[in-house]
Structure 1
Amino acid sequence: MENKISIANLPTKIEKLKKISRELNVNIYIKRDDQTGTEISGNKVRKLEYSIKEAIDNGCDTLITCGGIQSNHARSTVAAGIKVGLSSVLVLRTNEEPEVDGNYLIDQLLGADIKFITSDEYSNKREEIMENIKSELLQNGRKGYIIPEGASNGIGSLGYIEFAKEVLDYEKEVGIEFDTIVVAVGSGGTYAGIHMGNNLYLDGKKRILGFNVCDTAEFFEEKVKNIILESKNYLNKENSKKINLESIEIIDGYVGEGYALSNESELDFIWNLAKNEGVILDPVYTGKAMYGLYNELKKNKFKETKNILFVHTGGLFGLFPKKNQFNFKKK
């Protein structure tokens, strides 16, 4: 699992959310994977370190990937590619002329080659469209490497197996043991990697809890299983045998108005957490997941839980297009 390039600032730090911990009478810590970098900030870079290494090893000169107009993954891919001398083509979903803001602004600053497609095309034809781009590049003497949405595939998820080592090192250093790790689920790869890391390095002792931010829990449970099965192809036989498909736990009910859509309660929660803890969540992933965790704890759903580690997967740039939705005049 060492066959990667090093781009991210690792290990990321862990800090306690003191006020919300007191309120809920449970210890909530946060792992700052939003601080893996600036242009490449967030969870995606852990995955890209493996995907891009494979691209380089295969003699590719161009990365091809996809996402929404405010995709954190797409922005990180372009920035990471530049650092190692690779070009990028982004296939971004939008049904209208996008405002140059947030991640899309960063994409433009980085000089990304961007292809816009509709939501319908994205749902039904994005793989075909990326394959066509790869074929066009080949005709022009270039070689493309396709990275799926969120880098959530077998090789990408290896980055979050390594994440488990950092958790173990922290536990040993400070004398704490987390019983639960919580993460937002938007494409499944980060959850899959943490689940595998739990099996390999944490003796399977942690409850790995995901909050889906789109689709359904059932959809992602199946997707996570498929990613894990694909990841096993990159592991040695001994480690592969240690990985199971059990205890995948994703809590539904906090998608809200839909993927990348925010309601007032979610935005108020992000605002209040920022004011109280000095930590800013994003509206697409971590805001929904932490909002879900908060409400589940308020309902007293996790009575045996004592020490929770929440994974901040980044996404700060995604807040800026939401600026007019915050009601800052509210007392």
Structure 2
Amino acid sequence: MKSDDQQEIIIKSLNQISTIDLASLPTPLDEARRLADKIGLSKLFIKRDDLTGLAGGGNKARKLEYDFAEIIKGGYDVVITAGGIQSNHARMTAAAARKLGLDVKLVLGGADFDIPKGNLLLDVLFNAEIRYLVDDDANSSLEKEMQKWADELLNDGRKPFVIPIGGSTALGALGYVKAMQELAAQIESNNVQIIVGVGSCGTFAGTILGAKIFMPEAKVIGVSVSRTVDAIKNRTIELIRECSDLINYKINAEDCSIECYDDYHFEYGIITETGRQAVELAANLEGILLDPIYTGKVMAGLIDLAAKKVI
């Protein structure tokens, strides 16, 4: 089968899966000329998924379009999710729930605050009920607490829907399969390297799968903000396999090239010195705002990999 014919079949399968409009798409692709020159790259483009629009933007909006379509279709009345104390996913999930008239509960790994700041302040503004796991943000503990809360709500006659940490489901990862279709239409050649931050692996898996379909010459490189490379590879392969099944795309996930680096963080939620420098560099040279938890560390990784000639 010709690749064009295969793409058409995959696009048809993608379009048959229900979504609900939450993001402002397509997001721009901005060339960062001054930053590229500074760090020794011939060209550098930034896919502006900070401009997806939902409650301040971010990558999670693409995933939530799939999750909330399932939630509305299923008649659920309350959404539960979890993350770190400054979770972008928690903030955007709370906003999406309120936009669609649903109740929202958050389990956050960290201590309660007298004066909430950052994403936590927005969680409070969206009137999300929050449970804190003090000094315990391990994923397994967060997941157990979400399920416990869901059981309590079921006993009270509610119908809860649990979205995993980071929204990292095979269904949500389809948002980044589509994002690669979007990106392919914005660039002249797909012989590029795509640097993407990796946390709970959903965006990474969708990007790898989407690039394989729509940008077959592209190389996807992950920069971890929390997990080890081994943990990332195992979870990413699992998500690619499940995601490809949803769109009837035959792929051996184990044969996918998964390149990722875990050298640019030491503890989730804590800024690194190189991350701080990357945030300042992007702001001063391009007027682009990165954050200390995620994209600052990813930019620090990109800068170092460029210096080492990996990219």
| Counterpart mapping for 1:269-288 below 5 A | 269-288=278-297
Alignment of 1:28-67 (within 5 A): 28-39=44-55, 41-67=57-83
* Alignment-derived partner of residue 318 in structure 1: none
The letter of the residue matching 2:268 is Y
Deviations, residues 72-124 of structure 1 (Å, cap 9, x unaligned) = 00000010111112111000111353641000000111111111113436444
User: Residue 6 in 1 paired to residue 16 in 2?
Assistant: no
Q: Which amino acid aligns with 2:264?
A: Y
- Larger deviation: 91-100 or 153-162? 91-100
Write out per-residue CA displacement over residues 24-63 of structure 1, whole angstroms, 9 at most, x where no aligned residue: 1321100000000151510001000001111122221111
Which digits, 9 at most, give the CA deviation of each residue in 1:114-151, with x for residues without a partner?
11113436444222211121111112221111101110
Q: Could you tell me which of 27, 32, 35 is aligned with 1:20?
A: 35
- 1:182 maps to which of 195, 199, 220: 195
Is residue 266 from structure 1 mapped to residue 283 from structure 2 by the alignment?
no
- Which residue in 2 is equivalent to 1:310? none
2:92 to 58, 76, 80: 76
Q: Which has the higher contact order (CA 8 A, sep 6+)?
A: 1
Cross-structure match for 2:244: 232
The answer as to whether partners of 1:8 and 1:40 remain within 8 angstroms in 2 is no
**5+ residue gaps, structure 2:** 1-13
1:88 aligns with 2:104: yes
- In structure 1, the residue corresponding to 2:136 is in which secondary structure? helix
TM-score by length of structure 1 reads 0.84
Q: What is aligned with 1:252?
A: 262
- Could you tell me how far 1:207 is from its partner in structure 2? 0.4
1:83 and 1:15, CA in 2 relative to 1: closer, same or farther beyond 3 A? Answer: same
d(CA) in 1 for partners of 2:282, 2:128: 34
The equivalent residue for 1:114 is: 130
* 1:206 and 2:206 aligned: no
Q: Which residue of 1 aligns with 2:170?
A: 154
1:148-182 deviations in Å (ceiling 9; x for gaps): 111011111010010011111112xxx34441111
Question: Is the CA contact (8 Å cut-off) linking 1:186 and 1:213 kept in structure 2?
Answer: yes
* Counterpart position of 1:133: 149
Q: Flag structure 1 segments of 5+ consecutive residues without an equivalent.
A: 303-331
- Partners of 2:195 and 2:221 within 8 A in 1: yes
Distance 1:60 1:167, change over 3 A: same
Identity of aligned residues (%): 36
CA pair 128-263 structure 1, distance change in 2 beyond 3 A: closer
Deviations 1:253-295 (A, max 9, x none): 111x311111333212211220111111111111111111111
Whole-angstrom distance in 1 between the partners of 2:112 and 2:286: 36
Separation in 1 of the partners of 2:172 and 2:135?
A: 25
Q: Does 1:219 align with 2:226?
A: no
Which residue number in structure 2 is paired with residue 314 of structure 1? none
User: Normalization by structure 2: what TM-score?
Assistant: 0.90
**Aligned equivalents of 1:160, 1:17: Cα separation in 2:** 22
